[in-house]
Amino acid sequence: MVKLAQIVINQPTNFGIPAQKADIVQTVLKNAITVGMTIGVILLLFYFLWGAIDWIMSGGDKEKVGNAQKKITSALVGFVLLALLFLIVRVIGQVVGFNPLQKMTFPNLGNP
Q: Are 75 and 44 in contact (CB under 8 A)?
A: yes
Helix/strand/coil percentages in the chain, nearest 5: 70, 0, 30
Structure letter (DSSP) for residue 9? -
Q: Which residues contact 50 (CB under 8 A, 6 or more apart)?
A: 71
Predicted pLDDT of residue 67: 94
Q: Are 58 and 72 in contact (CB under 8 A)?
A: no
Q: Domain spans of the chain?
A: 17-96
**pLDDT above 80: residue 99:** no
**Percent of the chain at pLDDT above 90?**
37
What are 51-87's pLDDT values in tens digits? 999 999 998 899 999 999 999 999 999 999 999 988 8
**Percent of the chain at pLDDT above 70?**
66
Predicted pLDDT of residue 14: 56
Q: Which residues contact 82 (CB under 8 A, 6 or more apart)?
A: 37, 40, 41, 44
